[in-house]
Chains A and B, each alone.
Chain A
Amino acid sequence: MVKKGTVGIARDGGRRTGASHSPIGAQGSVGEVATRFHQFAHPPGTLVLESGQSLGPVEVAYETYGGLNAEKSNAIMILHALTGDAHAAGIHEADGRLGWWDAMIGPGKAFDTERYCIICSNVLGGCKGTTGPVSVNPRTGRVYAMDFPLITIGDMVAVQRRLLDHLGIDRLLAVAGGSMGGMQALEWLRAFPERLCGAVVIATAAKHSPQQIAFNEVGRQAIMADPDWREGHYDGQPPSKGLALARMIGHITYMSEASMSEKFGRRIQAPHQSHKFSNGFEVEEYLHHKGRRFVERFDANSYLYITHAMDSYDFSRGEDMHRALAGLTQKVMLIAFRSDWLYPVAQSREIARACKAAGVDATYCEIDSDYGHDAFLLEVEQESHLIRHFLQGLEAARGTC
């Protein structure tokens, strides 16, 4: 055994140190980027969903960073979480918005755009450019809203696979994602293992526990209880209160008791008070703020469709997980966070255990972080170290995968 803290990664009380580990050089930004679109399943073609229903045409919003090499063997697909989008890195010129995983993607970063071609697309059912309940139904000329079919994590991955075909990439070096993105990474392993060399699966579960389903159901009920929801047909006047409440609940589950205590304490954000019974605590104002901001950028029906997809997901479809993993030659990296109570480490350990039983070449690391579920977006240094070396290992073994 090794004594703690002698070599390796310098820790700063669980906080980000900002220090770079990169042996490659300075880290940078991919700069200005733009979302692109690909449309498929034009009539008479359709995308047949896992439910048996069909959908078409389907548009996918995606971004790419870094160049594809001549062999097209250096592509990595990033998979976003519940409220993410295709804009994973760089800056959008119009609003100056930074990508949601910009700390991890760029020159010299974990997903090094000088070595890899990074692809990220908005999920099916989303509201950021990929076909979803806010898209226009070509048969009626009106937005789908509740006419949009129920979709699954499997359907999201099937759409990503079509995007990959369009880009002319036979095999990804890896897929990588956290939370719902981790579910998609697992689904890639199950559905299209021959299309990848490895998978980075972060802070996720092979299937939702009753607690995870419960939180999602409360969020859905908040939306549907808003009179503005109007059975999903809310042209122009969305159920903002319900969606904001769903987001507030979500934010509580993304943080830990420790990170909330540190961030807010019992500080009062005087003198502003939103209602008689509010003490104006910072934590209250923070949640209100997050709720308000969220309704500006997210669609309530999308929230319902995507959380439904997450809850219904079962990686092994009721079978033993190790059976579903059996025979995989892809390498897997599993990362979990100690303070994550929304996707507790036990769920990642279960996946690790199934990898053992199935003889899958896997690495499992539990990062000691206080950030709760949010850690997968914040523990950049530890994640970068793990992912960078994992990807280099995949490159070295590329001939054999």
Chain B
Amino acid sequence: MQRRKDPDALRPDHRIILEWIPPGAAVLDLGCGDGALLDLLVRRKGARVQGVEIDEQAIYRCVARGLSVFHEDIDDGLSGYRDRSFDYVILNQSLQQVRRVDEVLREALRVGHRAILGFPNFAHYRARCQLFFLGRTPVTPALPYEWHDTPNLHFLSIKDFKAYCRQRSIRIERDACIAGKHKVTFFPNLFAGLGLFLIST
């Protein structure tokens, strides 16, 4: 396991999520992968964490980090929890892979007081250029998959998500748009590869 001490070396989305989550919080990470984010939350924030992950090899890596994880689909990951079991429910880079977005977000905001969502921005200028000039389905650092082997089921932009929240009266408490290692405030829907949102009902 590679452990980087320099906080600047953290993945930018992880750095922002660490900023947003207060010490001692109870956190559920849906699609937690190898548990890198949960591990950070435990070590730096003393968080009480639980992960959900579908990939068996990733489960083994989570267990090696001493994390508690459930091996299951994200779409099934929330049912069973009582209301407000967690302070934060995270869907980082997994929202676009969920089958039933409406239901999962409703459940996330039932099970958690707040939810943190991160997704690749489909309206990033590189994606737009590939589609417009090349006439090809975009393959970018944030959207690295070819059309035939992508785990992504939904392709949304930062603007799409804001409109979605407006329609459903979901409150956006904080947001951060990221390009490379930095936050973007100038035309984020054009220049950000990644959108991060802290939402609540």
Contacts and interface: CB of A to CB of B under 8 A. Distances in A.
B68 interface: yes
Interface stretch (B13-21, B55-63, B191-199): B55-63
A346 to B, nearest CB: 12
Contacts, number: 82
Interface stretch (B78-86, B121-129, B181-189): B78-86
Contact of A2 (B58, B68, B80, B81): B58
A308 to B, nearest CB: 32
A392 B57 CA distance: 19
Nearest to A356: B80
B102 to A, nearest CB: 21
B64 interface: yes
A361 B151 contact: no
A54 to B, nearest CB: 40
A215 interface: no
A2 B55 contact: yes
A353 B80 contact: yes
Given A353-B80, A357-B80, A363-B63, A5 B68 contact: no
B141 to A, nearest CB: 15
Contacts of A362: 68, 70
B85 A8 contact: no
Nearest to B60: A8
Nearest to B70: A364
B85 to A, nearest CB: 7
A361 B68 contact: yes
A52 B59 CA distance: 44
- Is the interface on chain B under 10, 10 to 19, 20 to 34, or 35 or more residues? 20 to 34
B71 A366 contact: yes
Interface string A322-346: 0000000001000000000000000
B68 A331 contact: yes
Contacts of B85: 356, 359
A401 to B, nearest CB: 14
Interface in B73-126: 79-82, 85, 93-94, 97
A243 B113 CA distance: 57
Interface stretch (A27-35, A186-194, A291-299, A382-390): A382-390
B175 interface: no
Interface in B41-76: 50, 53-61, 63-64, 66-72
Nearest to A333: B63
Contact of B59 (A349, A354, A357, A365): A365
B33 interface: yes
Interface residues of A, number: 32
A1 B57 contact: no
A387 B169 CA distance: 45
A396 B42 CA distance: 14
Contacts of B71: 364-366
B150 to A, nearest CB: 11
B34 A2 contact: yes
Contacts of A352: 70, 72
B138 interface: no
A364 B50 CA distance: 11
B54 A357 contact: no
A153 to B, nearest CB: 25
Given A1-B97, A1-B151, A363-B68, A6 B60 contact: no
- Determine which residue in A353, A390, A396 has the highest number of CB atoms from chain B within 10 A of its CB, and name it: A353
A81 interface: no
B63 A365 contact: yes
Contacts of B56: 365-368
Contacts of B50: 361
Nearest to B64: A389
A2 B33 contact: yes
Interface in A354-382: 354, 356-357, 359, 361-368, 382
A24 interface: no
B66 A1 contact: no
Contacts of B151: 1
A8 B81 contact: no
Nearest to A331: B68
B154 to A, nearest CB: 15
- Pairs of residues from A and B, 9 with the lowest C-beta to C-beta distance, nearest first: A356-B80, A8-B57, A353-B80, A2-B58, A8-B60, A393-B66, A364-B70, A2-B33, A365-B71
Interface of A: 1-2, 4-9, 331, 349, 352-354, 356-357, 359, 361-368, 382, 385-386, 389-390, 392-393, 396
Interface of B: 31, 33-34, 50, 53-61, 63-64, 66-72, 79-82, 85, 93-94, 97, 151
23 contacts: A1-B58, A1-B93, A1-B151, A2-B34, A5-B57, A7-B57, A8-B61, A349-B72, A353-B79, A356-B70, A356-B80, A357-B80, A357-B81, A361-B68, A364-B70, A364-B72, A365-B56, A365-B71, A368-B56, A382-B60, A385-B63, A389-B63, A389-B64
Given A359-B82, A366-B72, 15 more contacts: A1-B53, A1-B151, A2-B55, A9-B60, A331-B68, A349-B72, A354-B80, A356-B80, A356-B81, A359-B85, A365-B56, A365-B63, A365-B71, A368-B56, A385-B64
